[in-house]
Amino acid sequence: MATLEDRILGEKLHYYCSSSEDEEEEEEEEEEEGGKREAPGGGEEVLPPPPERGGWEGSSTNTGPKGVLKDWQRFKQLEAERRVEQERERVLLAKKLAMSCRSHLDDEKEKEEKKKSEEEEDALLEEAFPASTNKRATFGRLIHLESRDGFLDAIDKESEDVTVIIHIFEKGVPGCSAMTGCLGCVAQDYPYVKFCTLPASVAGVSANFKAGGCPALLVYRAGQLVGNFVRLTDEFSDDFYATDVESFLIEHGILVDRSLIPPGIRGPADGSDEDGDSDFSLDD
């Protein structure tokens, strides 16, 4: 059972109103009334909800030490990339220029190689032909032998490095006159080769050889017979030229092709004698 005091206090509490409670009730009523204001048309006006808070959508620059360092690193990176690109362009340009200049450089290189090759060939020929070439005996004309002793001396008393070519002929035999004339021309172009003629009657050959073996060429080096060519009309026919005889002797290794001999070693090529007249004659 409640005491009298409880009842008294209970009734006071029932009729007691707190100022704070009244203020809270007034605020709630104002909020309800504010949320339901009447619109101009007579209806209740509903206010829009407040905007929601979202993430940051703007931009900002970090101007602190870290931001400055980052910007500097980016600048150096772009600068390095630009240098790489410039170097690539420089290499491409250099290749392009090299291709355009290649043909000219190849021509120059080819000329140098050709010149070097010619110098090497000249050196080899100088070794093959002694440096004392100018001291060698020179002939440049056709020598006519009239006796057997002259024939033997022309061979045995000549220097070992001299090639001696002797034409044995017989008057009236086809081809002999032409061979004598051709050898006279060839002798002018090969001054270091001794060209001679010898009548078949002086050589002491048989009648058969005179009729069937002439014209004939005998070739000697160091006193030894190295070439023997008879009845050359079978090779040339009755009518031939000095170039035919020269080519024949070159093909058989008797003469050296003059086009392969350097001009300084080739020697004089004039077949004139002291009186300025040609010394070869036709013995037909």
Higher-confidence residue of 156 and 20: namely 156
Residues 195, 258, single domain; the answer is: yes
Say whether both 153 and 255 belong to one domain.
Answer: yes
Q: What is the pLDDT of residue 251?
A: 93
| DSSP 3-state of 228 | strand
DSSP per-residue string spanning 163-218 = EEEEEEE-TTSTTHHHHHHHHHHHHHH-TTEEEEEEEHHHHT--HHHHHHT-SEEE
Q: Is residue 54 part of a domain?
A: no
Summarize the chain as % helix, strand, coil (round to 5): 55, 10, 35
Domain match, 213 and 238 both: yes
pLDDT, averaged across the chain? 75
Question: How many CA atoms lie within 13 Å of 143's alpha carbon, on the beta-carbon side?
Answer: 18
CATH code of the domain containing 203: 3.40.30.10
What value does the mean pLDDT take over residues 258-264?
A: 70
> Could you report how far apart the first and last alpha carbons of the chain are, in Å?
189
Same domain, 221 and 119: no
Using pLDDT thresholds of 50, 70 and 90, give the confidence band for residue 196.
very high
Residues above pLDDT 70, as percent of the chain? 61
The CA distance from 236 to 233, in Å, is 5
Decide if pLDDT at 63 tops 90: no
228 and 113 share one domain: no
Q: Domain check: are 250 and 147 in the same one?
A: yes
Predicted pLDDT at 141? 93
| pLDDT at position 32 | 55
CA–CA separation, 173 and 44 (whole Å): 155
Whether residues 121 and 197 share a domain: the answer is: no
Q: Give the separation between CA 76 and CA 174, rounded to whole angstroms.
A: 101
Angle at 237 between CA 233 and CA 241, to 5 degrees: 100
Are 262 and 188 part of one and the same domain?
A: yes
**What was the pLDDT predicted at 64?**
66
Element counts in the chain: helices (H) and strands (E): 10, 7
Residues spanned by the domain of 123 = 68-128
Is 21 a residue whose pLDDT tops 90?
no
Indicate if 123 and 149 belong to the same structural domain.
no
Q: Are residues 84 and 187 in the same domain?
A: no
If asked whether residues 94 and 205 sit together in one domain, one would say no
Asked whether residue 62 is assigned to any structural domain, the reply reads: no
Give the residue, 88 or 186, on which the prediction is more confident.
Answer: 186
Q: Please, are residues 166 and 124 in contact by the beta-carbon 8 Å criterion?
A: no
Report residue 195 CA to chain centroid gap: 47
Please give the pLDDT value at position 108.
81
Does 83 map to a domain? yes
pLDDT band at 109 (very low <50, low <70, confident <90, very high): confident
Q: What is the mean pLDDT of residues 184-206?
A: 92
| Tokens (6 digits) for 225 | 């017979």
Residue 180 lies in a domain: yes
Top pLDDT among 65 and 174 is at 174
Question: 61 is written with which tokens?
Answer: 């620059």
Q: What is the DSSP string of 41-98?
A: TSSEEPPPPPPPP----S-----SHHHHHHHHHHHHHHHHHHHHHHHHHHHHHHHHHH
Task: Read off the pLDDT of each residue in 249-273 and give the average, rounded to a whole number.
Answer: 69
- pLDDT of 278 above 80: no
pLDDT band at residue 249 under the 50/70/90 scheme: very high
For residue 61, being part of any structural domain is answered with no
Tell whether 107 and 155 lie within a shared domain: no
Which position has the token pair 């001291």?
135
Of 8 and 162, the structure prediction assigns the larger pLDDT to 162
Is 251 part of any domain?
A: yes
Name the domain count of the chain.
2
